[in-house]
């Protein structure tokens, strides 16, 4: 996910947005097989901003964008967490329960994150070798 400054995010908010995006992708897949219009609600503003961004490179977001283009009868909206909307509290509780009891999903890390991680680890190793006198 990319924040407003164009920087990739990889903290807890990023993980939550990834999980919300994956759930939204599955909900869109289900809704696309139904008749009529569907309005899906998402609690992650970060995920929704990524979905409307033409610069998103995240594979899950790209799949969502394509699915929404192919299914104009499906709309996605943002619901602010912890407000009195029927079903929102139930959805929050089920999401928390799923993180503890549900199946584990592997969400691929973006290439930019892996590049940054590789650079950080390489610099740390180099610094360790330098400090140890292996110049």
What pLDDT does residue 99 have? Answer: 67
Helices 88-101, 12-32: axis angle to 10 degrees equals 110
Average pLDDT over residues 18-29: 88
In a domain, 28, yes or no: yes
Its domain, for residue 38, covers 9-134
In a domain, 23, yes or no: yes
Instruction: Count up the domains in the chain and report the number.
Output: 1
Q: Which residue has the higher pLDDT, 9 or 50?
A: 50
pLDDT given for residue 127 in this prediction: 92
Domain presence at residue 45: yes
**Do the domain assignments include residue 49?**
yes
Higher pLDDT: 35 or 93? It is 35
Residue 2 in any domain: the answer is no
In a domain, residue 29? The reply is: yes
For the record, the structure tokens of 74 come out as 């499906």
Domain-located, residue 3: no
* Tally of CB atoms within 10 A around 48: 19
- Residue 125's domain is classified under what CATH number? 3.30.420
| Banded model confidence at residue 130, pLDDT cuts 50, 70, 90 | very high
* 3-state SS assignment for residue 41: strand
Nearest C-alpha neighbor of 1 from the set 104, 103, 112, 97: 112
Is residue 118 scored above 80 in pLDDT?
A: yes
38, pLDDT greater than 50: yes
On average, the pLDDT of the chain sits at: 81
Report if residue 4 sits inside a domain.
no
Residue 135, pLDDT > 60, answer no
Looking at the predicted structure, is the pLDDT value of residue 44 above 90? no
């Amino acid at each position: 996910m990319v924040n407003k400054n164009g920087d990739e995010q990889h903290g807890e908010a990023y993980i939550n947005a990834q999980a919300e995006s994956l759930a939204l992708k599955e909900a869109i897949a289900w809704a696309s097989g139904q008749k009529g219009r569907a309005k899906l609600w998402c609690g992650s503003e970060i995920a929704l901003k990524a979905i409307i961004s033409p610069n998103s490179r995240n594979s899950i977001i790209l799949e969502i964008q394509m699915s929404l283009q192919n299914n104009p009868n499906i709309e996605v909206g943002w619901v602010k967490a912890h407000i009195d909307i029927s079903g929102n509290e139930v959805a929050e509780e089920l999401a928390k329960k799923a993180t503890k009891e549900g199946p584990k999903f592997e969400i691929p890390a973006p290439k930019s994150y892996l590049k940054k991680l590789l650079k950080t680890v390489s610099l740390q190793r180099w610094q360790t070798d330098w400090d140890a006198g292996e110049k």
